[in-house]
Amino acid sequence: MSEENTNTTIPAMLSPGEPLISEDTAKKFQAFADEILNNAPEESEDVIEAVEPEEKLAEEVKPEDKPAPEAEANVILAEEPVEELPAITYVENGVIGTGTVKKKATAKKTQPEVEEDPGDTLAVYSLKNLHWPGVGSLLRGYSVIPAKTAEKWVSRNKNVRLATPEEVAKEFNK
């Protein structure tokens, strides 16, 4: 059962002076190359003539040669937007395949409205950091915010309460 593998493969090596391909193969390739070179069309030397510029190009362009402004108004600057795009969609009998779909309108991101009038503000106390898209953010502690925003925070979250002026004064006058 303990037979050793005596089959060893030795990679082929060229002995010094041995060609990479045989003489017969080299003769076939040489004959093929000679045939291609003999059948190639002979290139004739074409004489390139210099082209003289037209005299009209050297003349100045007269103002009456310019197009009228009405003609510029009729120029089409861009192609119409594509209404249908190629996509993978349902084709016949609910089978998924390639087809065209209508282009979706891209929704523009709107910034939340920022109230410019800081006249009516309230102080609130938040037990933790909070964020409400469209309303704003509160950090842990006391914050002075517009009255409308304060009402939203107090009505929505149990971690936010209105702060009294005495609390705020005590906190900021340490």
* Range with the poorest average pLDDT among 24-28, 63-67, 108-112: 63-67
Flag whether 157 is in a domain: yes
| Res 29: pLDDT | 83
Flag whether 14 is in a domain: no
| 61 has a pLDDT exceeding 80 | no
Which position has the higher pLDDT, 39 or 13?
39
> What is the number of domains present in the chain?
1
Flag whether 66 is in a domain: no
β-sheet with 121-126: strand ranges across = 141-146, 121-126, 160-162
pLDDT tens track for 163-173:
998 988 888 88
Distance CA 131, CA 113 (A): 15
Which domain range does residue 130 map to?
121-172
Q: What is the CATH number of the domain that holds 137?
A: 3.40.5
Which position has the higher pLDDT, 118 or 31?
31
Distance CA 131, CA 138 (A): 6
| 58 has a pLDDT exceeding 80 | no
Alpha helices in 10-124 (DSSP H): 23-39, 55-58, 69-73
- Around Cβ 62, how many Cβ atoms within 10 Å? 7
pLDDT confidence band for 91 (50 / 70 / 90)? confident
List phi, psi (to 5°) of 18.
-80, 130
Flag whether 126 is in a domain: yes
Flag whether 161 is in a domain: yes
